Structures are given as structure tokens and as C-alpha cells.
Structure 1
């Protein structure tokens, strides 16, 4: 059964086989046409010029050998052969010897370029009627030609340049050197351009993860510098927006907490009644809600990146869940570290661990290095869990899955949203899955 490759499938196959990097594709765009041109020029040279010159040389050599054979057959004596050999040596640069009673060898080694053997064989067959044998590979500087006569074998050693255009390999060498030189120059220039794009991508990635990029400067081609300048302008606008938001949040936090503090003080001084107790609970819930709103709106808050030991950080965060009555176990290598914004990561892990403490009694927090780089933190609980089709819904801000898990009365549905926002701000993510303990597993992945 013959398989037919459709055009669409052939196109997909070509795309999969092409380089995926900008460096590889740019190099292919430059080198492939040059290589094709070099191959075409070399092919034309060998087919039209080198082969034609070799054929003419072979025909001239075959004519000289035919003259020597015919002259000897006219007078097949040693004296006649000596005269012919002497004339051939002086006039034609041919070394001749006569092997009395010998026969031609059987078989011969083919030349590297088949056109050499074909041209010489065609020329000898057209000029000599007697059986002949030749070898173009045994001697580097000579061609060995032997002709069978009734008296024996006439052997002729001819200089190689009399049968073959010996300068062809020099042309091929120059073409190869030119291709390698052009390839080296292309690699040098393309690498410089790609390096500028890689620096821009690295700076954008670092800035996206909250790291400062003070030493980044636009380099490379004009278009790349324009993109870098646009990135720096965007970075400045975003940083200005973050600074303004941080200042605004600090002011709002102060302005909101001042009346709350006054109300709490007045209730503390008021006569304790059932009504004042309910008001205190309302104020406490309002304060908790404001804290969550501000934490969600604050985001990264301009915090710097530090390398911290994860086990110590997780144990500090877990203390709150332990005080709330949950049994928390932490498993992590003591020397496992990560470059993170510590307070932001603490806030994210605190939300996940406290969420697990609210819905389960036993919590297991595991931190380990990932095989592909980075770290992974697992938070498992033995609570009721969440249906699989509602995992993504749980990450939506202000989402409360009351029917799946008994949501904390104080919660406003921002815990998972804050955790994912923090993880993605670090270049990672948070996902949910079924825990081996029977409840919910929250997986925090952070890059290396």
C-alpha cells in the first residue's frame, strides 16, 4: 500500500523540522541560499567545464597512446620500441615499458570522481582497437595505461595532468573555504543581534517577576533598540503606577483604620451588653475584610527579591494554623532555597494553609526541587475538597464555594486569588487537585 503525503501534512512536517529559535532561523535564511548557490556553481563547473576539459585531455592522451601502439605494431622489434619510448619521453612526457608475454590485469579500483574513468575509457576505446586496461588511483601523480598486443603488454605511465584537469579540487577548496567564511561571518553578526533580543526578553522576564533591571540598555539593530526603548518606557509607567498605588493604599489603610480604632475604643469603654458584643464582632469582621481587600489590591507592593530557606519560611507560616488547632506537618530539605519576595510568598502560603486548616484537621506541607528546575510546594488537607470542575472557579476573586466547602464566615473569597496572583507574580502558578489525604491539594510552582 502506497502512502500519499498531503500538502498540508508535508507543510506541517517541514515546519516541525525547521529550527525554532530566531538564531537558527536567521542562520538558515542566510546560509541556505549561499549553500545552494555554492552547490549549483560547483555542479555547473564540474558538469560544463571540468568534465569538458578532462574529456579533451583524455582524448589527447588516448591519441598519443594510440600512436605509440600503432608505431610499434608497424615494426614490433625491441629497437623500434626503444625509439618510440625515447620519442614519447622527450615529446609527450610518457614513460613506456614493454612486458613480453604478459596479459592485462583483471578488474580495477574506481576513481573518486566517476567522470574521470568514464572520460578516459571513452577516449581510449575510440582510439585503440586492442584490449586495454587503465588505473587512475594507484599512483597519485600518474595514470597507468596498459594495451594488449600479440607480443605482450605495452605499459604507459602518463602524468596525471595529461588526463585529468587537476585544478578542480582547488576550485572546490576555495568554494568550501568561502562557504565556511560566509557562515562564520553570518554566525557572528546574527549572534550579536539575537543576543540583544535575548537580553530584552530576560529584562522583561525579570521585571515581570518583580526584579529590578537597572543595568539594561538598548542594544542591537534599530528595530530591537526601538522595542527596548518601548519596554523601558512601559517599565517606567508601570513603576510609576505601582508607586502611586502603594502610596494611595497606605493612605487608605491609615484613613480606614483610624475610625475603626475609634469605634473599637468606644465599644471597649461602653457598657458590655449583647448589642455591643454583636457590634464588636461586626467591627472585627469589617477589619478582617479590609485587610483582605488591601492585601489583594496591594499585590507585590514593591518588595525586593531575596533568597530564603523554604523550610524555615513554611514553618513560620504554619504557626498560625497550629494556633488555630490544626495539625500541620512540614517536609522539606533544610538547604532548599528559592529567590522570592518573602512577605508576598508568606501571604500566599498563609492563605493556602489557613484555608486548609479551616476545612481539614490534618495538613501536610511538602517542598521539593522540581526536575526541570525551580521548586514545588504542596499543601494537602483531609477536608471535603472541591469538585474538579470548580477548581478554576475557586481562583476567581470574591468566589465562595459554600456548597463544596464550609467557607470561613470571615472570608470574602480572596485567599486563593491572592495566592495565585503572588505565584504568577514570581513567574510560577498555583493549581488545585485531589489530595491523597482525601481533601484538596494546592500546588505552588515557582521558577528557579
Structure 2
């Protein structure tokens, strides 16, 4: 509960007040005549505050102590002889001072936290920029205090290192996927020497490997696509995919409501929907798709099936690459479809989730941002 109020402003505000009080007590203990620990003289008010007691009416001023103004200072008057102010005036005085110090603390907190806000924005943008293949925008290393400049230099070095690792990973995957085409081509040529009963299994294995290579290269191309996202008619794209699957004899249907255009990369959105549709057909035997407008301006694409669903504790694991859930070992695949779909969705600012339907089966929900 207390952490909600633990802010830089509050810490700076309290620090300013405590410093003011401690400086006054230290000065009174060391420099005030007759003051210090063990003295019978009462604690004076802060030198910057008016005399008097805030919890009662101002009484008659106490008699001033013997005072020698010293040579050359005949007009100096001891502060202890000043009359006290009424309690109402004192509270007004304290309130005004409190507001002024609070304003100073707020401005100081905003000024001191500006580098942290810049760092927070840069860190938030880093993941999206790396996923999109773009070089992260560096922080200004010549701005701010020495500590801020050092932090910016460390952050920029980390961002560059991450970018190099992402580029190296993508390059290795692309090279491996490309080089696999040559042995696959040789295997196709040697299929003619196999016995007739071994041909169907070998052809199916080669086709599966070829699809995996094509999928990997397509994803790498889409991730390295520097073209900005643009408005897309999601309903028309879903309709085209459903028509293609229906021509192949698959049990698919579509219910589309009027919905606004969405902002996405068309190739990436098509692959997301193709992966979701392929999962529904593979594990559920059919797919029912629907497109509808969300209440917050987003567009939702739902993909429902009549399969066994997924255990609630396994839903997030389904999005991890190379993970095959219990019961899916008999189905073809490599556990990459959902991982690729979510990665591409997040790259375009969309959200992909899975949920079990009450009537049975699984629902994939894709929320797309408006154009």
C-alpha cells in the first residue's frame, strides 16, 4: 500500500523539509547563545517562520533577554522580542510555505526524473524495433549529468549488441534454410530408386521439410520487411483464406460483420491467419471464423474449432517454439505455428490469445489495432 505513494516527488519533498528542520536545529545547537543540548532555553521557531504558536492564540511576547547590538549595529533588534502572530495567521503562513515547497519538490522531481523517463521510453521501444529488424534509436550520450551520460552509453552499447545478435541469428537461420534446399532436391531425384511402398512416406517427409524451410524463409523476410504497416481490410483477407480452404474440401465457414480497416503488414497478417486456420483444421477437424468490430476501435478475428482444447495451465506453453503439447504428438508439425503467429502479431501491435470455449473446442482471438 505504501509503495503507491513512494515517488520521487514525495521523497524530495520530505527531504527538503527534514533538511530545513535539521539545519535549523544544528545551527541553534552550535551557534545560538545559550542554546544547545541541556540548555533551559526553549527551542526557537525556524528563522524563516514567524514567531508564535500555531495551536493557540498569540500571548504577550516574553521579555527580551539582555542584548548588546554591538558597535556599528544600533538598529539590530533581537528576533526573540518580536510579538507572536495569531494562530490563524500562522496556519495560513505555514500553508503558503508548504505549497511553495511542494511546488519546488514537484518541479525538482520532474527535472530529476526526466532521464529515467527517456530511458523508459527507449527501453519500451527497443523490443519492437528489434523485432521489426530496425536499428534501435540511440539515446543522446551528450545530454544530462555525468551519470545520465554514462547510463545512456551503456544502454546504447546493449542495444547495439542485441541488434547484432538478432541479425546474426536471422542470418544463420536464413542460410540454413536456404542450404537445405539442395539436399532436398537430391532426395527428390533419388525417390525414383525407392520401392513403391516406401515412396508415399518419403514424399510426405520431404514435403514437410520443404514447407518448414519455406515457412522459415517467409517469416525472416517478413521480419526484415522495412515497409510500414498500412490499412488492410481484414474481412476480405479472411474471406480469401476461407475460400482457398473450401476449394480444397476443408470444413470452414465465415461470419463477417462490418468492421473498420486495421493497421498491419498484409503478408504477416495472412501468415498469422493461415497458421491459426491450419491449427484449427489439424486439431479440430474444421474451423469457424468470424470477424467483428470491438468496442474500443479494435477488430477481432475469432477462429473456433471443435477439438479437444488445451488444458488451462498449458495455454501459454502452446506459444513457445518447438513445444508439442500432450496429445499432439500424432499430428504433423514442429510446434512453431503459434509461436510465429504471436511474434508477427505483436510486431504489428496486435494481440493473440487462446481460450477454451464453454461448449467445447478452442478459440483463437486476434485483436487488431485500427488503421
User: For the superposition of Structure 1 and Structure 2, which TM-score range results when normalised by the shorter chain?
Assistant: 0.5 to 0.7
Matched, 1:364 2:306: no
Matched, 1:284 2:226: no
Q: Is the 8 A contact 2:139 2:152 kept in 1?
A: no
Report the CA distance shift for 1:165/1:385 in structure 2 as closer, same or farther (over 3 A): closer
Report the CA distance shift for 1:203/1:376 in structure 2 as closer, same or farther (over 3 A): farther
Give, in whole Å, the separation in 1 of the partners of 2:215 and 2:285: 22
Give, in whole Å, the separation in 2 of the partners of 1:421 and 1:444: 12
Residue 3 of structure 2: which of 4, 15, 21 is its match? 15
Q: Is the 8 A contact 1:35 1:179 kept in 2?
A: no
Matched, 1:115 2:57: yes
Displacement of 1:265: 5.3
Matched, 1:27 2:9: yes
Give, in whole Å, the separation in 1 of the partners of 2:243 and 2:151: 47
Give, in whole Å, the separation in 2 of the partners of 1:37 and 1:273: 91
Q: What is the TM-score with the length of structure 1 in the denominator?
A: 0.56
Q: When you count strand as a share of all residues, which structure comes out higher? A: 1
- 1:223-243 Cα offsets, whole Å, 9 max, x none, are 333333222212212222222
Q: Is the 8 A contact 1:260 1:283 kept in 2?
A: yes
Displacement of 1:249: 2.9
1:214 aligns with 137
Unaligned runs of 5+ in 2: 25-43, 62-82
Give, in whole Å, the separation in 1 of the partners of 2:204 and 2:186: 15
Displacement of 1:356: 0.7
Unaligned runs of 5+ in 1: 1-12, 20-24, 53-111, 121-163
Give, in whole Å, the separation in 2 of the partners of 1:201 and 1:299: 30
Give, in whole Å, the separation in 2 of the partners of 1:50 and 1:399: 75
Matched, 1:337 2:262: yes
Q: Is the 8 A contact 1:348 1:422 kept in 2?
A: yes
Displacement of 1:256: 1.3
Displacement of 1:247: 2.9
Matched, 1:241 2:160: no
Displacement of 1:415: 1.8
1:44 aligns with 45
Structure 1's consecutive aligned runs of 4 or more residues displaced over 6 angstroms after TM superposition are: 36-41, 166-175
Displacement of 1:175: 6.2
- 1:270-319 Cα offsets, whole Å, 9 max, x none, are 899555454333321232244456668x4973334514334344445545
What's the secondary structure of 1:205's corresponding residue?
helix
Q: Is the 8 A contact 1:364 1:380 kept in 2?
A: yes
1:204 aligns with 123
Residue 339 of structure 2: which of 403, 414, 417 is its match? 417
CA RMSD of aligned residues (A): 4.5
Q: What is the TM-score with the length of structure 2 in the denominator?
A: 0.66
Displacement of 1:423: 4.1
Give, in whole Å, the separation in 2 of the partners of 1:224 and 1:369: 43
Q: Is the 8 A contact 1:381 1:437 kept in 2?
A: no
Matched, 1:442 2:364: yes
Matched, 1:302 2:218: no
Report the CA distance shift for 1:299/1:172 in structure 2 as closer, same or farther (over 3 A): farther
Q: Which of the two has higher C-alpha Rg? A: 1
1:66 aligns with none
1:153 aligns with none
2:38 aligns with none
Displacement of 1:427: 6.5
